Amino acid sequence: MSHPPSTPVKVPASAATYTPATQDADLRSQINTLLLREGHATKIQERFLHSLDAHNSNWPSAIQSHALALLRSGEVSTFPALIRRVLEDVRRDSAAAAAAASATTGNSTQTSINESNPTKDGVNGAAVNGTSRAAGGVNGTTMGADGAGSLAIPTAVVEAVLKVVRESLEAVCEVEPDGSAGG
């Protein structure tokens, strides 16, 4: 573990209610600077890569295979178009997995990497989390709309990385009680 920073960033309690539109750019910059300087950004990246590589979904290979298939089929022909399309497909499959998980648990809140890119039917015809193993799911893995493995980042990976992010933020930030910060 990293030692505590000499001067942690003071975060007002009200920051919990910030939205991207109301975020304090200076506060975000201070936090990012400390995360980088204290080595937390590297730790987060390493945990993310390790978790992806260790997960049985073989997500990095699925992304590579998907990108190659897009290039070989001629659906995309430039690198920027490839990156844009792969990210769209990851968002679509993530939204589908979140919608299916929400429907399965009866939870009305949807969590995904990016909820701003929903598909027409919300799941894009995908069988999710082993609900249709006959349709090609293996060991309960999520299936994408094209029948290939899902491009959604596995939930277990996201949870493992969020734990490290939380620990890192707690190491560099000090949340002030309500009313003590101007802001």
Model confidence pLDDT, tens digit, residues 97-112: 888 888 876 644 444 4
CA angle 16, 92, 163 (to 5 degrees): 40
Indicate the range of 43-47, 49-53, 143-147 predicted with least confidence. Answer: 143-147
pLDDT at 148: 54
Rounded mean pLDDT of 120-143?
36
What pTM does this model have?
0.63
* pLDDT-derived band at 4, boundaries 50, 70, 90: low
Model confidence at 161: pLDDT above 90: yes
Q: Which residue has the higher pLDDT, 134 or 51?
A: 51
Alpha-carbon distance 17 to 14, whole Å? Answer: 6
| Proportion of the chain above pLDDT 70, given as a percent | 69
Model confidence at 73: pLDDT above 60: yes
pLDDT at 10: 86
Domain boundaries, the chain: 1-17+26-55+156-183, 57-153
pLDDT single digits (tens) 46-57: 999 999 999 999
Q: Which residue has the higher pLDDT, 145 or 100?
A: 100
- Residue from 155, 152, 161, 154 nearest 45 by CA: 161
DSSP per-residue codes, 86-139: HHHHHHHHHHHHHHHHHHHHT------S-TTS--TTSSTT---TTTTGGGT--T
Rounded mean pLDDT of 156-174?
93
Q: Which residue has the higher pLDDT, 107 or 159?
A: 159
* pLDDT-derived band at 179, boundaries 50, 70, 90: low
